[in-house]
Chain A
């Protein structure tokens, strides 16, 4: 029964990735190896981030319960390294724009999923004790997939020269939003005191909004580039 539960969680967490991979045309381009490369880049970036965090941010023992906004802000700033990492990955991948950020985003998210979700699920969801948090964790990984693809998309948009100048600030602010997402979520959690389910739906909403705006811009751009016969 508990193995069944574990299976449920894994299905919930991983199948959307497979669906996205199959249906977004990545499979046709046999982009698996590129995705793996993006995953490796993710690992390398995390390593760098950890080194920076360990070197420049000594552990603060003070904040127990309270929220250390400045500390968290600085830590989230280090997450900018993610964006750089994504940018580097995409600059290495040859191919058309859509493929680029799909590969980078998917590879990135998959690597994160494998690194951060699999072991807690394996240890936790197979135990006797039932807890909703494993289901929530699986849902959250779905949200993260969208989040990472959006971020990759935004990074790609920013590197485009043919983007309308007026849209540039929007892209930048969205990038900042997605970068500081953990901080924002934490502040709001603290302020309102969200439960685990509402927190999850809030994350979904947040990511959804960012995603829709980014998608609109992308569609506008690709339409424009179509008319420019860029491809």
Chain B
């Protein structure tokens, strides 16, 4: 399809190339209405250092494009703006290929001299991945004593990311930070649990769930599998479940609950521990409990802990976001530079400390920090994981069950935990709860083309030239023959 700037008059079956700032939702509607062939949105190459107004614009656009679930045949592509793309962009702006010329002659002339671009997409149409499986990775540390009779503390973090352009969804903060926290917690507690003197009387369960951005499908299946089954007793006696979601930045920390924990419950102890630790070690951190009842009428659950709360398991989610509606959780802007490693380290430390005080039953008065020195959260490890997790897009549909990243996560958990295994789930064939489509990344080629009218001119020129040659040869011939 021919490339056109966004303000061109004729856009039917053309590929519109536009910068992010030029596209608004009303513009998008116009394009759909006029049957534009495709829309290519150039977003700045450096998503980390994008200006705040641009970021806001992108986030609203993401949101609204998603809300516009109307069926359109117009594909929307996102590309990071490279030098070449910027060149093409300015070229199609300067030579607008005769659509807007005043007279026919002008149109003809500009048509003959213009530099057009032909955009060609390689690859087939996006199709549904019917057999797609969401993978959960789990592992546990069994407590001291008879395993079946001990209470359990569970840590849950979903590992997938989401963004309007699936190929660009790095999801550093949401939920790379949660995954890193979970891995660090697994590492720290495995150290404690291998020593018989620091072997607590609690089972610890770690779950990396898939499909978190899609109504926590992985968590849902995992709870169903483990709650009522006979052969596993992971969830038979749960003290509480800690869901980690988006904890990689800012000086706020919110504990989201569906029901405030009762006075004497384990959850309350954890909450008190959190309060005390933050109060004594990190006074600059603002900590609050946010109480939000589960809205069963809503199709989408707000936080991951609600999956557990529905099944009457005490659970809460830790996040630096006050509301689940924050656009920060589902954006392509969630890049590595968004995450502050120091703050992530601090948050991991707080969680580890709070859980440890609970399971070792240390009444808080003594100002002991369990996790310090060699047992501290390692910043290098945190940033290494961050690097690894954000290297490629972690959109749910890209993380098929043999994905390298999943293998790495499983291997890492295997090093610290026992019984590490992965479980997969498929959508029900008849009434699927989720359908994924492939086609996260495409290659679009831009060909420099000349309009047909140019070829016509060229043909005329060539005919003229050939006629000239013919005449010259004739003259020379007569000259030579005359000479002969």
Partners in one complex: yes
Task: Give complex CA distance A20, B118 in Å.
Answer: 39
Q: Contact mask B461-475 → A, CB, 8 Å, 1/0?
A: 011011001100110
Given contacts A1-B455, A8-B455, A223-B483, contact A129 B473 (CB under 8 A): no
Residue ID in chain B nearest A3 by CB atoms: B455
Tell me which of A12, A131, A222 contacts B483 (CB under 8 A): A222
Q: Is A15 an interface residue (CB 8 A)?
A: yes
Partner of A226 from the list B120, B458, B466, B484 (CB cut-off 8 Å) is B484
- Distance of A129 from chain B, by nearest CB (Å): 4
Whether B473 and A130, one on each chain, are in contact in the complex, defined by CB atoms closer than 8 angstroms, is no
* CB-contacts of B444-468 with A (<8 A): 447-450, 452, 455, 458-459, 462-463, 465-466
Please measure, in the bound complex, the distance between the C-alpha atom of A7 and the C-alpha atom of B480, giving whole angstroms.
33
Q: Which residues of B contact A5 (CB under 8 A)?
A: 450, 455, 458
A10 to B: closest C-beta gap in Å: 10
Q: Report, as a range, how many residues of chain B touch the other chain.
A: 20 to 34
A4 touches B459 (CB 8 A): yes
Does A11 have its Cβ within 8 Å of any Cβ on chain B? Answer: yes
Provide the B313-344 mask, 1 if CB < 8 A to any CB of A, else 0.
Answer: 00000000000000000000000000000000
Does A23 interact with chain B (Cβ within 8 Å)? yes
Give the chain B neighbours of A11 by CB distance below 8 A. 459, 462-463, 466
> Closest CB-CB distance, B278 to chain A, in whole Å?
61
**Interface residue B477 (Cβ < 8 Å from any Cβ of A):** yes
| Contact present for A4 and B448 (CB under 8 Å) | no
A1 contacts B452, CB within 8 Å?
A: yes
Q: Which B residues touch A127, using CB under 8 A?
A: 447
How close is A31's CB to chain B, nearest CB, in angstroms?
15
Bitwise interface map of B from 157 to 180 toward A, beta carbon under 8 Å scored 1, else 0: 000000000000000000000000
Given A4-B452, A222-B484, A223-B483 in contact, is the A16-B458 Cβ separation under 8 Å?
no
Given A19-B473, A223-B483, are A128 and B466 neighbors across the interface (CB < 8 Å)?
Answer: no
- Annotate B200-212 by CB proximity to A: 1 below 8 A, 0 otherwise: 0000000000000
A196 CB within 8 Å of chain B = no
The complex places the Cα of A21 from the Cα of B473 at a distance, in Å, of 10
Q: A128-B447, A129-B448, A226-B484 are in contact. Are A8 and B474 (CB under 8 A)?
A: no
On whether the beta carbons of A98 and B480 are closer than 8 Å, the reply is yes
Contact in complex: B470, A19 (CB < 8 Å): yes
Given A11-B466, A23-B470, check contact A128 B118 (CB 8 Å).
yes
Q: A11 vs B447: C-alpha distance in the bound complex, in angstroms?
A: 24
> How far in angstroms is the closest Cβ of chain B from A67?
29
**Residues in B whose Cβ lies below 8 Å from that of A168:** none
A78 within 8 A of B: no
Identity of the chain A residue whose Cβ is nearest the Cβ of B454 in the assembled complex: A130
Closest beta carbon of chain B to A163's beta carbon, Å: 17
Quick one: CB contact mask for A132-147 with B, threshold 8 Å, 1 for yes?
0001000000100000
Chain A contacts of B470 at CB under 8 A? Answer: 19, 23
Instruction: Flag whether A69 is at the interface (Cβ < 8 A).
Output: no
Interface residues of A in 54-112 (CB under 8 A from B): 98
Q: Does A219 contact B (CB under 8 A)?
A: yes
Listed A/B pairs (14) with beta-carbon separation below 8 Å: A1-B452, A11-B459, A11-B462, A12-B465, A16-B466, A19-B466, A19-B473, A128-B447, A128-B449, A130-B447, A131-B448, A219-B483, A222-B483, A222-B484
Given contacts A4-B459, A11-B466, 6 further A-B contacts (CB under 8 A): A4-B455, A11-B462, A19-B473, A128-B118, A129-B448, A219-B483
